Every structure is written in C-alpha cells, then in structure tokens.
Structure 1
Amino acid sequence: MEKRVINPWQWQDQRSYVQAVEVKNPEGTLYISGQTAISADGISSNEDMKSQIIQTLQNLELVIKEAGYENKGIVRLNIYTTSTEELWPHFGIIQDWVAKNGVKQATTLLEVKSLFETLKVEMEATVVK
C-alpha cells in the first residue's frame, strides 16, 4: 500500500490532520462504525468529556486491532461531539494519540445536537493496509 498526503498549506499541521490522503494499491480497507465510550457490557458512559475521549480511542484501537489492521493505517477520522466547547480543552488527547500512532488522516469535526444516550463524543474511521 502506498499513501500520499496532499497539503497545499501548512497551517493544518498544528491541528493534527491533513487535507487529503491518496491510497494506492491497498491490501484492504476497513470502514469502522462510530466508536464511543461504551463498555464491553454495552453500557454508555456517564463520565466527563475527557474520560469519554479516552475510552472512545481505546474502543477504536480495539476494533482496528481485532480486524488485523494498525492505527497508523487510519486515513479518515470523523469526530462528532455534542459540545465543541467541552471537547476543545481535551483535544490534545486526540492530537497526542494521532502523533503517537503516526496517523496522517483527513478529519471532519462536527458538533451534533445529541448522540446515543449519555454519550458526548463519537469517532468513525477508515483504515487501510
């Protein structure tokens, strides 16, 4: 698999994403449903935004690993939140995770009216190998 990052500018580098990712000759593509802070027993988290971000990333990692892919293969990461105001103070958690895993992904961040039950953040990804 060959990945090429397209960035006509440099400002997005500090925001932990790229403008576009081209993938040539992938072995496979994994489309992951929105992952949230739901326990292995199916219980939605009542925790704060920081805790939910951490658990959401852990759940995302588990799905990627279980499918036989690697985090660094993420080419698209969509983030949905019920409050960008609550999310921003903890956005560094996501940025650190992206950097630690060597991810170069196209990203969309959207504030939505609500998510399932008590959830505050949801992330869906496309991963290639």
Structure 2
Amino acid sequence: MEIRVINPWEWQNERSYVQAVEVKNPEGTLYVSGQTAISADGISSDENMESQIILALKNLEEVITKAGYECKGIVRLNIYTTSTAELWPHFAIIQDWVAKHGIKQATTLLEVKSLFETLKVELEATVVK
C-alpha cells in the first residue's frame, strides 16, 4: 500500500490533520461507524466532554484493533459534536491521540444539533492497511 499526503499549505499541521490523503493498492479498507462514549454494556455516558472524548477514542481504537487494523492506518476522521465550544478546551486529547499513533488523516469537524441520548462527541473513521 502507498499513502501520499497532499498539503498545499502548512497551517493545518498545527490542527493535527492533512488536506488530502491518497491511498494506492490497499490490502483492505475499514469503514468504522461513529464511535461514542458508550460503555461495553451499551450505556451512554452522561459525563463531561473530556470524559466522553477519552471513552470515544478508546472505543474507536478497540473496534479498529478487533478488526485487525491499526490506528496509524486512519486516513479519514470525522468528528461530530453537540458543542464546539465544549470540545475546543479538550481538543488536545484528540491531537495527542493522533500524534501517538502517527496518524495523518483528512478530517471534518461538524457541530450537530444532537447525538444519541446524552452523547456529546462521535468519531467516525476510514482505516486502510
């Protein structure tokens, strides 16, 4: 597999994403449903944004790993939140997780009116190997 990152500018580097990712000859592609702060028992978190981000990342990583892929293979990460104002103070948690795994992904961040039950953040990924 060959991955090529396209960045016509440099400003996105501080925001922990790339403008485009080209993937040639992947062995497989995994499309991961939005992962949230839901416990293994299926209970939605009613905790704060920071706690929900941490659990959503943990759940995302678990799905990717169980599928036989690696987080470093994420080429697209969409972030949905009910409040960008609540998300921003904790965005470094996502940035640190991305850096830890050496991920270079295209990203879209969207504020939505609501998510399931009491959830505040949802992470949707495309992963290649």
TM range (shorter): over 0.9
Scaled by the length of structure 2, what TM-score is found? 1.00
Name the CA distance, whole Å, in 1 between partners of 2:49 and 2:95.
15
Q: Which runs of 4+ in 1 moved over 2 A?
A: none
Name the CA distance, whole Å, in 2 between partners of 1:2 and 1:74.
13
After TM superposition, list the pairs within 5 Å mapping 1:51-70 onto structure 2: 51-70=51-70
Matched residue pairs, number?
Answer: 129
SS of the residue aligned with 1:14?
A: helix
Q: Which residue of 2 aligns with 1:71?
A: 71
Name the CA distance, whole Å, in 2 between partners of 1:32 and 1:55.
16
- Whichever residue aligns with residue 114 of structure 1, its letter is S
Render the CA deviation track for 1:78-115: whole Å, top value 9, x for unaligned.
00000000000000000000000000000000000000
- Structure 2 unaligned spans of 5+: none
- Whichever residue aligns with residue 116 of structure 1, its letter is F
Q: Which residue of 2 aligns with 1:89?
A: 89
Name the CA distance, whole Å, in 2 between partners of 1:75 and 1:29.
10
Q: Which residue of 1 aligns with 2:9?
A: 9
SS of the residue aligned with 2:102?
A: coil
SS of the residue aligned with 1:107?
A: strand
SS of the residue aligned with 2:77?
A: strand
**What fraction of aligned residue pairs are identical, expressed as a percent?**
84
Name the CA distance, whole Å, in 2 between partners of 1:57 and 1:7.
25
Name the CA distance, whole Å, in 2 between partners of 1:65 and 1:98.
15
Render the CA deviation track for 1:33-68: whole Å, top value 9, x for unaligned.
000000000000010000000000000000000000
The Cα RMSD (Å) is 0.2
Q: Which residue of 2 aligns with 1:100?
A: 100
Scaled by the length of structure 1, what TM-score is found? 1.00
- Structure 1 unaligned spans of 5+: none
